[in-house]
Amino acid sequence: MTLRLDVLRHGETELGGGLRGSLDDALTDTGWQQMRAAVGAAGPWDRIVSSPLQRCARFAEELAARLSLPLQMEPALQELHFGDWEGIGTAQLMDTDAEGLGRFWENPYTFTPPNGEPVLAFSERVLGAVRRLQLAHDGERILLISHGGVMRLLLARARGLPRELLLQVVVGHGGLFSLDIAAAGVLTEV
């Protein structure tokens, strides 16, 4: 059997651009609309799993209540922690740490933002959580509400991309993608 995982990125946030990471921003009205539109004709799901950060969790709570579905908050599916770069836009980083930003974009697995979470540790955290979901809910269809980095990681893995291309995966606010996770943990984009 397989687990169907529909992965939804949170919508636009109040504090906008920059590397939001573990910052707990709220959604804008547009962000709420993006997420509601994304799930409008999707599903049905057996349960909802969400990052506990409010830009994901508040929508997950609303949707779970509306659809009468079980809801699980999963801290391991939070965004990458960007350390000293959290809340800073890439344009500003080009002025203050262009070399570091360039190295991060070139291969995020070989450069960690100052005081940030290594992408390898992030990858292990996220893939471990997805594996636990697959073991616990095989045969179900789950809506996972999470972040751009989590989605890039899962989509890059499903698409068989080399690690250094992780940040080239495009995932917009309110983006919704479907993945199948086989018993062996193999991810396939549907």
pLDDT of residue 79 exceeding 90: yes
What are 98-111's pLDDT values in tens digits? Answer: 999 999 999 999 99
pLDDT of residue 1 exceeding 90: no
Residue 2 backbone phi and psi in degrees, to 5: -135, 160
Residue boundaries of the structural domains of the chain: 2-189
pLDDT at residue 185 in the model: 83
pLDDT at residue 158 in the model: 97
CATH dotted code for 2-189: 3.40.50.1240
Amino acid identity of residue 134, one-letter, is Q
Give me the percent of the chain exceeding a pLDDT of 70.
100
What are 156-185's pLDDT values in tens digits? Answer: 999 999 999 999 999 999 999 999 999 888
What are 14-37's pLDDT values in tens digits? Answer: 987 788 999 999 999 999 999 999
Residues 94, 97, 103, 107, Cα dihedral to 10° = -80
pLDDT at residue 18 in the model: 80
Give me the percent of the chain exceeding a pLDDT of 90.
94
